[in-house]
Amino acid sequence: MPTNILMPALSPTMEKGNLAKWLKKEGDTVKSGDVLAEIETDKATMEVEAVDEGTLGKILINAGTNDVAVNTPIAVLLNDGEKASDIGTAAAPAPKVAAQKENNVIPLSQNKPAAAPAQLVASSSSERVFASPLAKRIAKQKGVDLSRVKGSGPHGRIIEKDILNAPAGGAASASMAQGMSDTAVRQLYEPGSYEEIPHDQMRRIIAQRLTESKQTIPHFYLTVDCDLEALLAARTAMNHIAPMGEDGKSAYKLSVNDFVIKAMASALQRVPNANVTWTSNALLKHKHSDIGVAVAIEGGLMTPIIRKAETLSLPDISAQMKDYAKRAKTRRLAPHEYQGGSTAISNLGMMGIKNFSAVINPPHATILAVGAGEQRVVVQNGQPVVRTMMSVTLATDHRAVDGVLGAELLNAFKMNIEQPALMFV
């Protein structure tokens, strides 16, 4: 009988994906290993390969469809001797998806406020809420939670004047816990004064993870200033002696961020008790320094992982980062390249940001926020001198890395930056 091709789970955390492109069309012969389609997850675009052989009998989910749940049938594969007429209606219907417009922007003329349900369940009762059709319509427009309105009509029925006298907001939605309803927020702005851009899967996942991080992880912050003069001299010397590649250009060009990655990797080896991950039953103490590095991409960010960074040379780290950054911007990283790790680095120094605090990216226990290197007047041996300084802030999960331990890690990092030879010891 025909075989359903299901939306695959391309990562342990994947619940939905976007079907970006079909690479086979109905009627095409399919062999095991053939690439059928491209699927966009929250972090990457990945290819889906066929497991079985046959003919692609019917495509159930069109290219460009967003938010397709894992294990939803997306196509039907016909075996030898089977015809399209054998498919029948066994395959599950296509899921409801968000409106799909060019550049993911819905024109203002099509914007519709998220309506409150016509009948809601009161928090203290399982009884149905009765309201007139007009009252329901006005409640949708005002974003009024019907379960919170006391009806003055026959038998407690909610009528028009009850809604008109009720305060706006309180529509039953996930945003209730965060304040105003979606509908109530829209009503604060003049129609036509904004455009509505639906959240894509990446932005939803980022919002979910960062909210979870700030709500469940007790963040603790530590800041130090690092003198960059020795590091900048070492960087200049190493770039100067870089061999020439086959293209006639230098084989590598080290950045300050490459040194920062190496310095953090070395610091975690010196302070191994900070190289940990919190779980409810135990601390996972990592043997290697797997450093995540935040890379900004369109619509969000990714954090590719430099594995065993303590064992890598600076040119190797530089080459890996260039490759990861290039593929991250086209969402071509594989899950194992951005999942896991023991810490992360977020560098906004190149944007001119002097200092900031970053949000920990679970399952990491720390994240280092790196500011810009800038010339400042500092005091050395009782005299004012101009030095190139860089402020960094370490955020720690206080359950796993407390204040003293975090200070040890940050001081080890500072020593590596100010005396670069130490990071190779």
Give the pair of three-digit tokens for residue 65.
């469809």
CA 318 from chain centre, in angstroms, equals 23
CB contact burial 65-101 (16+ within 10 A = b; e otherwise)? bbbbeeebbbbbbbeeebeeeebeeebeeeeebeeee
* Long-range contacts formed by 317-325: CB under 8 A, 24+ apart: 317/258, 317/261, 317/262, 318/252, 318/253, 318/254, 318/255, 318/258, 319/252, 321/257, 321/258, 321/261, 321/293, 324/293, 324/295, 325/295
Give the pair of three-digit tokens for residue 414.
């500072």
Q: What DSSP line would sit under 291-322, residue for residue?
A: EEE-EEETTEEE--EETTGGGS-HHHHHHHHH
Give the pair of three-digit tokens for residue 288.
């290697």
Please return the burial class of 129, using the count of CB atoms within 10 Å of its CB with bins 0-12, 13-18 and 19+.
Answer: buried
**Other CB atoms closer than 10 Å to residue 52's CB: what's the count?**
11
Query: Can 398 be counted among the known catalytic residues?
Result: yes
Contact yes or no for 404/223 (Cβ under 8 A)? no
**Other CB atoms closer than 10 Å to residue 163's CB: what's the count?**
24
Q: Is 328 helix (H, G, I), strand (E, B) or coil?
A: helix
Contact yes or no for 360/212 (Cβ under 8 A)? no
Let me know how long the chain is: 425
Q: Which of 219, 286, 288, 398 is catalytic?
A: 398
Contact yes or no for 356/348 (Cβ under 8 A)? yes
Backbone angles phi, psi at 36, to 5 degrees: -90, -45
Q: Is 223 helix (H, G, I), strand (E, B) or coil?
A: strand
Contact residues for 323 (Cβ-Cβ < 8 A; gap 6+) = none
Contact yes or no for 119/129 (Cβ under 8 A)? yes
The residues assigned a catalytic role are 398
